[in-house]
Structure 1
Amino acid sequence: MPGRAEGGGHKWHLSRKEYGEDFSMNFALTDEQQMIVDTVRAFVETEIYPHENEVERTGHVPPELGREIARKCKEIGFFGCNMPEEVGGAGLDHTSFTLVERELGRGSMALTVFFGRPSGILMACNDAQREKYLLPAVSGEKFDALAMTEPDAGSDVRGMKCFARKDGDDWIVNGTKHFISHANIADFVIVFIATGEEDTPRGKKKLITCFLVDRGTPGFEIRDGYNSVSHRGYKNCILNFDECRLPSAQILGEVHKGFDIANDWLYATRLTVAATSVGRARRAFDYALNYAAERKQFGKPIGANQGVSFKLADMITEIDAADLLTLSAAWRLDQGLPSNREIASAKVYATEMLARVTDEAIQIFGGMGLMDDLPLARFWRDARVERIWDGTSEIQRHIISRDLLRPLGA
């Protein structure tokens, strides 16, 4: 791409023409965006870091601590910052919100989950649902969780077996969801459920409807999930539906149109995973860089040896590349440009980069890197799930290759 330096600094301006319009991307952060980065990073360092070791040790976040984090998030004006101003949010664009997620990625997910970011899919709420679910979620009165994955339907979403049958004006739901992140703190869950089938050239496919389900609804149970080596304290849960009766008023969007309202959410979550991976990689890199400059062997800092210095060079290059991929994808969303492939590229590259960077950081520290005195082993373990949830690396590569080949008829 053509580019030009401005003022002899590191500010670059890129332009390209798509669909008959000119779009420009400026890689320099605005003053407001820099304020966002500084504010969120300071929050993570002062409000999240001090509690991480205890959460890692116990695998639990005390409810009062979660409430305190949410309260302080509201105090700095960032609760619901991903939501539009007309519903009480800060109305950040995709690029600015990606910067928020990047900085939150430096901290423990078990704690940063209380830095409220309601599911954007709630913008599909009708007037009655808006008062009951959307506005309380944006104000922090209620927490939501989102449920799609099932024991036999992970990447194959259309293969879900959790089914709702029509009964008058109600729906009777039976089935199970699992790996449902932070449902343990949720007041309600946004659940995707099969409600029928349709014939397609490739055979029958499930029709999916989205429901809003309150904690405590008869026939609906939220219970503890599995013990995971990644993100201790950030709970995954199992949802059981046993003849659970839901009125049609609980449908989010339209019957059988669940995927229509899921697209924006899928974009947002994949960008979030990419952004948080970049933030966590930078924190791991900072540990490795400082250690390489301070630790001495054979009379000189270990960073003076090419075996270490070249690792640092490769690590920062990959981190920067992932950062730019992620921010570029967010920028495309802000411009209303097609972004599916770009988001998939950011997600697959950033998550795989994180695995490599955390592994190399441990290698630079040697044996100490695996000790609980440092958070590197935690970063290493946490990195593993990023290539799985919100669309595996294989699914992302499928999205990318399909986008490339379909215009050519392949």
Structure 2
Amino acid sequence: MNMEASVETDLLISTVRRFVETEMYPHEEEVDQMGYVPEDIGRQIEATSQELGLFACNLPEEVGGGGLGYGPMSLIEREYGKTSHALQSWAARPTELLMACEGDQRERYLFPAVRGEKRELFALTEPDAGSDVMGMKTNARRDGDDWILNGSKHFISGPCMPDFAIVFAATGADETPRGPRKRVTAFLVDVGTPGFDCREGTKCVSYRGYKTFELHFDNVRLGPGQVLGEEGRGLELSGKWLGMGRIWVGATCCGKAERILEMATEWAASRKQFGKPIGAFQATGFRLADGAIGLRAADLMVKDAVARAEQGVMSDADAAMIKVFCSEMLGKIADDAVQIYGGMGLMEEMPIQRFWRDSRLERIWDGTSEIQRHIITRSILRPLGA
């Protein structure tokens, strides 16, 4: 890396780090206890993000975004990972799926999202179709030039009530060598459309304050201009987002693991038993050593995946490996930190229990560890015809 790039990288990291430490850290405990982000705090984070040029930094400059590539974005996501998702999600990065908007859709959805005037939800998961996307029951049928949408979604996450949702629905079936396969289409659906009920859903113990929404569709009429991308190509569209999304999960896990490890190290160095710091005992010191090894390996894996993505050669298995390794690395560091803190690690007055709760979700959302291992296994066996 040349010196100019290094200076720019250091500036980016320091800018995001100050942003997170000054605008988000002070509110973590309050948000965790209340279970929501007060709107004035969320809007302040949003405004500061816009002032710093971080809002919509993942989208191209040609549409008003920051135009940052995968490398810089991985650094940003790593710093954001150090704090609550409930807070950092207000520093919005609109989904790249909106780049599929065409014509009037750009004025109606893309540009307002880039300017922070509208918020979107990515609505794929259903009560009976989480990891099994082909089990999706939400469907849309043609009625002249329009579509009639029915079904429901849940565990759809976002920081606040959205303005519209990107909804995936079955619009038919295609014959394949493996049998019939549902044809899935993405739709842009405005909150407030007749028949569309969007409400807050169940509360999660991880990332308290980061909302989940339930979406219900009862004969919702959609015009032809509300199809995002091509009819029947919804899964391909979502795959572009999910692949890099798993890399960003890996990066955020590294950031959170670093913060937890630093806290555990300080505790192990200052807490004394039997006349010496507890970190001097192998049972504790080796936990720190294993955490440092895991974090270094995870950071290198993320860096490698980002390089592959920049070259256009990253595979689903690459993304799956990142998701599994980084989330499980974080889980071990968080659990070890609780053990190092002992009883204090589980006290509400201490932040470790919050990091422990938050870390647990990383092995579940954006595809469970079991699903990621299935993707990896498939990539190994399919070339051999198995």
Q: In which range does the TM-score fall when normalised by the shorter chain?
A: over 0.9
Structure 1 residues 289-324: Cα deviation after superposition (integer angstroms, max 9, x where no partner): 111111111222111111111110001110111111
Establish whether residue 213 from structure 1 lines up as the match of residue 189 from structure 2. Answer: yes
Selected match of 1:58 from 25, 31, 34: 34
Residue matched to 2:384: 408
Equivalent residue number for residue 393 of structure 1: 369
Residue 299 (structure 2) pairs with residue 323 (structure 1): yes
CA distance in 2, matches of 1:250, 1:64: 32
Give the gaps of 5 or more residues in structure 2: none
> 1:242-300: per-residue Cα shift (whole Å, max 9, x none)?
11111110000111111222221011211121111111111111110111111111222
Partner in structure 1 of residue 48 of structure 2: 72
Q: CA deviation at 1:404?
A: 2.1
Give the superposition deviation at 1:141: 1.3
Residues 138-177 of structure 1 aligned to structure 2 (within 5 Å): 138-177=114-153
Identify the residue that residue 18 of structure 1 maps to in structure 2: none
Q: Specify which of 333, 336, 344 is matched with residue 312 of structure 2.
A: 336
Aligned pair partner of 2:99 in 123, 133, 145: 123
Structure 1 stretches lacking a partner, 5+ long: 1-10, 12-25
C-alpha contact (below 8 Å) 1:219/1:241 kept by paired residues: yes
> Which shows bigger deviation, 121-130 or 255-264?
255-264
| Aligned residues of 1:326 and 1:343 also touching (Cα < 8 A) | no
d(CA) in 1 for partners of 2:202, 2:119: 21
Per the TM alignment, residue 409 of structure 1 is displaced from its structure 2 partner at its CA by 3.0
The residue number in structure 1 matching 2:227 is 251
Contact 2:338 2:345 in 1 (8 A): yes
1:355 correspondence with 2:331: yes
Q: Cα deviations across residues 196-227 of structure 1 (Å, max 9, x unaligned)?
A: 11222333221100001111111111111112
Name the structure 2 match of 1:7. none
Q: Which residue of structure 1 lines up, in the alignment, with residue 59 of structure 2?
A: 83
Answer yes or no: is 1:228 the counterpart of 2:204.
yes
Q: CA deviation at 1:45?
A: 0.8
* Aligned counterpart, 2:352: 376
Alignment of 1:269-284 (within 5 A): 269-284=245-260
Shift of 1:374: 1.7
Q: Distance in 2 between matches of 1:33 and 1:144?
A: 29
SS of residue paired to 1:117:
coil
- Judge conservation of contact 1:145–1:183 (CA < 8 Å) in 2: no
Residue of structure 2 in register with 1:101 after alignment: 77
CA displacement 1:91-137 (0-9 Å, x = unmatched): 11112101111110001111111111000111111021111111111
Deviation at 1:39, TM superposition (A): 1.2
Alpha-carbon shift at residue 405 of structure 1 (Å): 2.4
Q: Encode CA deviations 1:134-163: one digit per residue, 9 max, x unaligned.
A: 111112111111000000111111110011
Q: Residue deviations 1:339-380, cap 9 Å, x none?
A: 322211111000111111000001111100111122111111
Q: Aligned partner of 2:171: which letter?
A: T
1:179 aligned onto 2:155: yes
Structure 1 segments (4+ residues) deviating >4 Å:
none
- Aligned identity (percent) is 55
Aligned position for 1:263: 239
Number of positions where the alignment pairs a residue of Structure 1 with one of Structure 2 = 385
- How far did 1:29 drift? 7.4
Q: Does 1:242 align with 2:218?
A: yes
Is the contact between residue 89 and residue 159 of structure 2 (CA under 8 Å) also seen in structure 1?
A: no
Do 2:126 and 2:153's aligned partners in 1 also have CA atoms closer than 8 Å?
A: yes
Matched, 1:34 2:14: no
* Matched-pair contact (CA < 8 Å) for 2:58–2:68: yes
Structure 1 distance, partners of 2:295, 2:80, is 16
8 Å contact from structure 2 (residues 320, 376) kept in 1: yes
Kept after mapping to 2: 8 A contact 1:319/1:353: yes
Please, which moves more after superposition, 397-406 or 151-160? 397-406
Partners of 2:125 and 2:154 within 8 A in 1: yes
Cα RMSD (Å) of the superposition?
1.5
Alignment correspondent of 1:204: 180
TM-score, normalised relative to structure 1: 0.91
Matched, 1:309 2:322: no
1:183 to partner: Cα distance = 7.0
8 Å Cα contact 1:183-1:222 kept in structure 2: no
CA distance in 1, matches of 2:102, 2:137: 27
In the alignment, which residue of structure 2 is the partner of 1:22? none
Give the secondary-structure state (helix, strand or coil) at the position aligned to 1:30.
helix
Provide the C-alpha distance between the structure 2 equivalents of 1:184 and 1:139, rounded to a whole number of angstroms: 16
For residues 183 and 152 of structure 1, what CA distance do their matches in structure 2 show? 24
